Chains A and B, each alone.
Chain A
């Protein structure tokens, strides 16, 4: 399985909208 690890997620705002069945990415989250 391909796994997107936490290094690649750095500084991104990662939004898990589980109810909405989608994941959102935003730049410059932190």
Chain B
């Protein structure tokens, strides 16, 4: 709700937290039927709509995984992957992640069918990577526990391995970052890692992918993982939505025109959608160009030129964002800003929150408030300014992150070192 001066948002505390039961959105709500598109329901892995994950991570655990993903993304921009311990110590409290894991933790998943007859699998979708893979029988080396039955290629009539000599095999490196291998039977072997030991290795294969009952993709190239480790929770694998040619976006270019969209729900107890093809929906769209962030091709780079708090542009020199560069990533939970930008955001936001009592820091979030005495609060609006004049206002749930009503924090974190 916008308060009279339109530079502040009225946020109801209850709206920041998931409810016990799931509120599904009507899948047709945003579909414009006349155009070719395919819409999948998006659920948050750790909410009541989810796949019944064993246990949700605490905020601190989530932020540790989130920081590891951010470190890994930064390492790609710094030219080489550094061992985790050489990266700067993060503010996130160190919780030993079990078997590796930085697929990140803010996982949004969709249900797709694979093979003939189709078998349903819950896959994480990730704009920060390109390869789609799932765990496959016989799990020659290792499969982590997943909710859905592990995909069995032997039971599908449309499955085939890609041979080492196939051009599809040669193109793997740009999408996974690793040279493909070759098995004794001349089958193409892929390997992908997501940072700090989480990875998937297996056969690069072709299969029929069913997005919805009416949208079936034949000869879809994906990874059939025989050795998979990481805290992917109960998800069966991952859908890569990056810009490499092995991404589902490029593989379905003819059908969907290289357009996809998603909406991530306010809380983990409601659902969103992932749509392939040009879908209508949510009002007029404001566009900004995709740029190549610092020459790392597969990420979706954006040109942020500034930010506004409470309707006023905050003092950040334009060079701050042009030096750091910026990407948008569905797999990173908390937005990371260059240090100067974060400190300007923090001080402007604090000025607009003086009436509320402070609360202790929450891991990487250092600007927190005790709002347990309020049913609703009035907070300064926060907006991103992109080159070309596009200005995007954030929802209240995009400005505040609540671990509990007595610890509600500004949902941004500063990078440590401007060059990252």
Which residues of A does B touch, CB under 8 Å? 1-30
A11 touches B286 (CB 8 A): no
Known: A4-B329, A9-B264. A23 touches B290 (CB 8 A): yes
Q: Mark B328-358, 1 if CB is under 8 A from A, else 0.
A: 1111111111100100000000000000000
Known A-B contacts A2-B341, A7-B106; A12 and B263 likewise in contact (beta carbons under 8 Å): yes
A-B contact pairs, 9 of them (CB 8 A): A4-B335, A4-B384, A7-B106, A7-B401, A11-B266, A17-B287, A20-B259, A29-B30, A30-B25
Task: Give, as a whole number of angstroms, the nearest-CB distance from A11 to chain B.
Answer: 4
Which residues does B use to contact A, with CB under 8 Å? Answer: 25, 29-30, 66, 70, 73-74, 77, 106, 108, 127, 241, 243, 249-250, 253, 257-266, 270-273, 278-279, 281-290, 293-294, 300, 302, 304, 321, 324-338, 341, 384, 390, 392-395, 397-399, 401, 411-412, 415, 420
- Could you tell me if B325 and A13 are in contact, using CB atoms closer than 8 angstroms? no
Residue of B nearest to A19 (CB): B258
Asked if A12 contacts B73 (CB within 8 A), the reply is no
A26 CA to B261 CA, complexed, in Å: 10
Residues of chain A contacted by B264 (CB below 8 angstroms) = 6, 9-12, 14, 30
Q: CA A5 – CA B399 in complex, angstroms?
A: 11
State the CA gap A7–B409 with chains docked (Å).
12
Q: Give the top 10 A-B pairs by smallest Cβ distance, nearest first.
A: A29-B263, A24-B285, A19-B258, A26-B282, A30-B263, A29-B282, A13-B282, A2-B326, A15-B261, A18-B258
Which of the residues B25, B263, B272, B287 comes within 8 Å of A24, measured between beta carbons?
A: B287
In the bound complex, how far is the Cα of B286 from the Cα of A26, in angstroms?
A: 6
Given contacts A12-B398, A27-B393, 8 further A-B contacts (CB under 8 A): A6-B329, A8-B412, A11-B263, A11-B395, A15-B261, A20-B259, A26-B283, A29-B282
Q: Provided the pairs A5-B335, A16-B261, A29-B30 are in contact, do residues A10 and B398 lie with their beta carbons within 8 angstroms? A: yes
**B328 contacts A4, C-beta separation under 8 Å:** yes
Q: Complex formed: what's the CA distance from A12 to B73 in Å?
A: 23
Give which listed residue, A6, A12, A26, contacts B331 with CB less than 8 A. A6
Of B259, B288, B398, the contact of A8 (CB 8 Å cutoff) = B398
Per DSSP, are chain B's interface residues mostly helix, strand or loop, or mixed? mixed
Q: How far is the CB of A20 from chain B (nearest CB, A)?
A: 8
Residues of B within 8 A of A9 (CB): 264, 328, 330, 398
Contact B273 A30 (CB under 8 A): yes
Q: Once bound together, how far apart are the Cα atoms of A30 and B270, in whole Å?
A: 9
User: Chain B residues with Cβ under 8 A from A3's Cβ?
Assistant: 70, 73, 326-329, 332, 335-336
In the assembled complex, which residues on chain B have CB atoms less than 8 Å from the CB atom of A21? 289-290
Contacts of A24 in B (CB 8 A): 261, 285-288
Contact of A1 among B249, B283, B325 (CB under 8 A): B325
Provide the bound-state CA to CA distance between A10 and B394, in Å.
8
Are A4 and B25 within 8 A (Cβ)? no
Q: Which residues of A contact B334 (CB under 8 A)?
A: 5, 7
The smallest beta-carbon distance between A7 and chain B, in angstroms, is 5
Q: Which residues of B contact A5 (CB under 8 A)?
A: 66, 106, 329, 332-336
Question: Do B249 and A18 touch across chains, with their CB atoms under 8 A apart?
Answer: yes
Q: Which residues of B contact A16 (CB under 8 A)?
A: 127, 241, 249, 259-261, 290, 300
Task: Tell me the bound Cα distance from A25 to B78 in angstroms.
Answer: 29
Rounded to whole Å, the gap between the CB of A18 and the closest CB of chain B is 4
Report chain A residues within 8 Å CB of B338.
Answer: 2
Partner of B302, one of A4, A7, A13, A19: A4
A12 to B173, alpha carbons, bound, how many Å?
Answer: 33
A5-B106, A5-B334, A6-B333 known; A15+B259 contact, CB < 8 A: yes
